[in-house]
Amino acid sequence: MSRLKLLDSRETVNELLARYGVKFGIYKNNTFHEQLFPFDAIPRVIEADEFEYLEKGLKQRVVALNLFLKDIYSKKQIVKDGVVPEDFIFASSGYMIECEGVSPIKDIYSHISGIDLVKGKDNNWYILEDNLRVPSGASYPMIARELCRRSSPETFLDNKIEDNRDYAKLLRRTMDNVNVGGHAVILTPGRYNAAYFEHSYLAEQTGAHLVNGSELTVEDDMLYFITADGKKERVGVVYRRISDEYLDPMNFNPESLIGIPHIYDVFRKGNVALMNAPGNGVADDKGIYYFVPKMIKYYLGEEPILSNAPTYLPFYKEDYDYVIKNFDNLVLKDVAEAGGYGVVFGSKMTKEQKADFLELLKNEPRRFIAQEVIDFQDLDIIDNGEQVPRKADLRAFVLMADEPLVWKSGLTRFSRNPDSFIVNSSQGGGFKDTWVLSR
């Protein structure tokens, strides 16, 4: 009964989402469209014990990734020991020389990690991607839950579901853990950013100030927030939603108009915490993904709890040969691309495309990874009044506070196109709430 009522609430919720301005900006044919991020009312449900297993695996992975980042920007032991080849670090566009020798507060690099997983038809979960730079999306299930509770309160009385509205508390705890003294702020590039809704929502929920670059200033190796009446007050932690290259025109891209000059110099001196730390791109590109299970063994001496999708690195001769032989069964990904761009399926190429691609692969083997196409489980969605199956993934959020924390929910994204495996919101997909059962 209550389940039906929840489904009936879809329209109401989508209307409320629209009214709240829950939108996602996408680029299509080189123009920017702001569109609603369609919500589907059928939740993804994860049993308590299954989530407990995911939680262990996610914590393990994020702890190892943080150790890797610290190692890369200091001793580089994992490279010296031959576990990760030099090429995958120093020729990667994510490696930033400016970050060498800099120690973030408490050695935390990735405070907020968005780990994308899928559940295969074999009932195993596979990690598809780590997002350690500025992962977005937590606000969508938060607000959807809030609105669903409003339109169908009985559902949440009848089902024992972990309350996901505590994300703001976890985020605040993560910010407070590294705050070196002063205000906590959320730095947004502004209202035209694809995720502006999320920035303002998280600021409201955590009690942090929402600021743009012009409201922050650096003086004498300290960061200040300029209040409405012109006073300067010290900032101790910045949850920044601006990418590394635009963060500080004096240290990174000089063309940036949205950054704060010298903010990275303040960070370098340990006088402000930046979350996430700049430089994380070296740990989350698709080439490094291959090495994450090896990192877990290397740094923690443990077997990885969660598996990667079976991945081949054409950089290695053996893998290259495998890729050539099994080309039609594989999905090929350009390591430098993100958001569902630069992904091609061997089986879907024409003869000419395939020949061109093989030539490219031969010349630049380091640029690509190849993966087995995982047959992942469909989730039902309501499409034009009909219940139909669609491909879906799960973005889990792992926060590094005084201890690693996994948010008991997540963003479930689905593809609206029945033939597509690509669920990224930037490719026009929709989202669902993720229910973690409490028993």
Number of residues forming the site for another protein (CB under 8 A) = 28
Extended strands (E) in 2-144: 23-28, 31-36, 39-46, 112-119, 125-131
Binding of residue 76 to another protein (CB under 8 A): yes
Distances (CA, A) of 256 to 268, 280, 415: 20, 19, 34
Pick the closer one to another protein by CB: 74 or 353: 74
Binding of residue 97 to another protein (CB under 8 A): yes
Extended strands (E) in 277-429: 307-308, 311-312, 330-334, 343-345, 368-372, 378-383, 386-400, 404-406, 411-414
Q: Find the binding residues for another protein in span 256-315 (CB under 8 A).
A: 261-262, 265, 268-269
Q: Please, what is the minimum distance in Å from the beta carbon of residue 195 to another protein?
A: 26
Among 6, 63, 96, 306, contact with another protein (rule: CB under 8 A): 96
Q: Please, what is the minimum distance in Å from the beta carbon of residue 384 to another protein?
A: 52
Q: Please, what is the minimum distance in Å from the beta carbon of residue 262 to another protein?
A: 6
Stretch that binds another protein, among 98-106, 124-132, 374-382, 389-397 (CB under 8 A): 98-106
Residues with Cβ within 8 Å of residue 126, at least 6 apart in sequence: 117, 118, 119, 120, 306, 307, 308, 309, 374, 376
Pick the closer one to another protein by CB: 99 or 323: 99
CA dihedral 260, 263, 264, 269 (to 10 degrees): 170
Residues with Cβ within 8 Å of residue 234, at least 6 apart in sequence: 181, 182, 183, 222, 223, 224, 225
Helix H, strand E, coil C: the string for 53-70 is HHHHHHHHHHHHHHHHHH
Helix (H, G, I), strand (E, B) or coil at 152: coil
* Contact status, residue 317 vs residue 298, Cβ threshold 8 Å: no
Q: Please, what is the minimum distance in Å from the beta carbon of residue 259 to another protein?
A: 10
Pick the closer one to another protein by CB: 87 or 122: 87
Q: Please, what is the minimum distance in Å from the beta carbon of residue 56 to another protein?
A: 33
Residues with Cβ within 8 Å of residue 118, at least 6 apart in sequence: 125, 126, 128, 309, 374, 376, 377, 392, 393, 394
Binding of residue 362 to another protein (CB under 8 A): no
Binding of residue 75 to another protein (CB under 8 A): yes
Q: Please, what is the minimum distance in Å from the beta carbon of residue 115 to another protein?
A: 28
Q: What character string, x for contact with another protein (CB under 8 A) and - otherwise, covers 199-238?
A: -------------------xxxx-----------------
Q: Per DSSP, what are the bridge partners of residue 334?
A: 368
Q: Find the binding residues for another protein in span 106-165 (CB under 8 A).
A: none
CA dihedral 306, 312, 317, 321 (to 10 degrees): 140
Stretch that binds another protein, among 39-47, 72-80, 106-114, 182-190 (CB under 8 A): 72-80
Binding of residue 99 to another protein (CB under 8 A): yes
Q: Please, what is the minimum distance in Å from the beta carbon of residue 65 to another protein?
A: 20
Binding of residue 100 to another protein (CB under 8 A): yes
Among 91, 157, 324, 388, contact with another protein (rule: CB under 8 A): 91
**Token pair for 152:** 């169908």
* Contact status, residue 109 vs residue 132, Cβ threshold 8 Å: yes
Residues with Cβ within 8 Å of residue 34, at least 6 apart in sequence: 23, 24, 25, 194
Q: Please, what is the minimum distance in Å from the beta carbon of residue 190 to another protein?
A: 18
Pick the closer one to another protein by CB: 228 or 257: 257
Q: Does the bond joining 29 to the residue before it have cis omega, within 30 degrees of 0? A: no
**Token pair for 240:** 């920044």
**Token pair for 248:** 């500080």
Q: Left, alpha or beta for 230 (phi > 0: left; psi -120 to 50: alpha)?
A: left
Among 8, 47, 87, 107, contact with another protein (rule: CB under 8 A): 87
Binding of residue 101 to another protein (CB under 8 A): yes
Q: Please, what is the minimum distance in Å from the beta carbon of residue 75 to another protein?
A: 6
Helix (H, G, I), strand (E, B) or coil at 73: coil
Look up residue 205 and give its amino acid.
Q
Q: Please, what is the minimum distance in Å from the beta carbon of residue 178 to another protein?
A: 20
Binding of residue 430 to another protein (CB under 8 A): no
Q: Find the binding residues for another protein in span 248-267 (CB under 8 A).
A: 249-251, 254, 261-262, 265
Stretch that binds another protein, among 235-243, 244-252, 357-365, 425-433 (CB under 8 A): 244-252
Helices (H) and strands (E) counted in the chain, each on its own, are: 15, 21
- The candidate with the shortest Cα–Cα distance to 433, out of 389, 379, 374, is 379
Q: Please, what is the minimum distance in Å from the beta carbon of residue 410 to another protein?
A: 35
Q: Please, what is the minimum distance in Å from the beta carbon of residue 80 to another protein?
A: 8
Stretch that binds another protein, among 70-78, 118-126, 297-305, 415-423 (CB under 8 A): 70-78
Give the interface with another protein as residue ranges (CB under 8 A): 74-76, 79, 86-87, 90-91, 96-102, 218-221, 249-251, 254, 261-262, 265, 268-269
